């Protein structure tokens, strides 16, 4: 016969509690074991529900961070404030790293025997993968937009020869008049394709993330209805 006080029982992990309940059932304590088993299931559901809600909250933090990054980059393109933009990027990077760390901890908990929810762990892992892809492509888009299309980039006259204060021999005249126009057109086309591909990649990642979030919301609704 198992003699285990409630205080000692509460100190056990969920898996250990379930083992105790099975032993009590086998020794004739069926009613008491069934009650404890229901309590464990309710506790497990409550903890999973809390973790999933925290996950959605973290995703909201990420959305806010992306909005700040987009706004800050737009201001940078207009004003050219390099320092302010770099500081913003540093802040956003810290925020993203913190979000990722917390979700990895949740993933580990779902893989733990207390929860044994491999499906939810895999769901969080999938979101992490798409978030990483989204961030990488967002950075690619900003680098491309910062550089601009090859044909529209400003020309530097540092290496030009100045005969008089307002006159100089431009080393770029040769390029402008004799360089094949197809080369510039190909460079622009390559740039446009790279930008479109990155934008499409971000859109695909966002779609995949939203689909996973919808699954999480379904899971939350199911747990709330129990």
Give the residue-averaged pLDDT of 72-101.
92
Q: Assign 190 a pLDDT band (cuts: 50, 70, 90).
A: very high
Higher pLDDT pick, 147 / 16: 147
Q: pTM, whole model, 2 decimals?
A: 0.72
Cβ pair 128, 210 in contact under 8 A: no
The residues pairing with 168 across neighbouring beta strands, listed in sequence order, are: 162
- 69-72: which pairs have CB atoms within 8 A and are 24 or more residues apart? 69/138
**Averaged pLDDT for residues 87-95:** 94
User: Angle of helix 14-26 relative to helix 30-79, nearest 10 degrees?
Assistant: 160
CA–CA separation, 135 and 19 (whole Å):
44
In sequence order, what are the residues at sequence separation of 6 or more whose Cβ sits closer than 8 angstroms to the Cβ of residue 120? Answer: 48, 52, 110, 219
Instruction: Report residue 74's pLDDT band, with 50, 70 and 90 as the boundaries.
Output: very high
| DSSP state for residue 155 in the 8-state scheme | P
Indicate whether 4 pLDDT > 50. Answer: no
């Amino acid at each position: 016969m198992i003699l285990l006080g409630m205080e000692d029982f509460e100190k056990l992990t969920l898996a250990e509690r379930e083992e105790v309940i099975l032993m009590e059932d086998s020794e004739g304590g069926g009613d008491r074991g069934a009650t404890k088993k229901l309590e464990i299931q309710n506790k497990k559901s409550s903890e999973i529900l809390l973790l999933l809600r925290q996950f959605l909250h973290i995703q909201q933090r990420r959305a806010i961070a992306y909005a700040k990054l987009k706004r800050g980059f737009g201001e940078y393109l207009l004003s050219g404030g390099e320092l302010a933009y770099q500081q913003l990027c540093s802040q956003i990077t810290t925020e993203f790293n913190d979000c990722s760390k917390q979700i990895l901890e949740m993933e580990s908990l779902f893989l733990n025997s207390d929860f044994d929810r491999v499906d939810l762990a895999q769901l969080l892992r999938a979101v992490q993968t798409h978030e990483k892809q989204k961030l990488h492509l967002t950075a690619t888009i900003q680098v491309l937009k910062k550089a601009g299309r090859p044909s529209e980039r400003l020309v530097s006259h540092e290496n030009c020869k100045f005969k008089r204060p307002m006159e100089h021999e431009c080393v770029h005249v040769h390029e402008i008049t004799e360089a094949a126009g197809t080369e510039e057109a190909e460079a622009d086309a390559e740039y446009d394709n790279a930008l479109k591909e990155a934008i499409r990649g971000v859109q695909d990642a966002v779609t995949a993330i939203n689909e996973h979030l919808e699954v999480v919301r379904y899971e939350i609704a199911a747990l709330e209805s129990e």
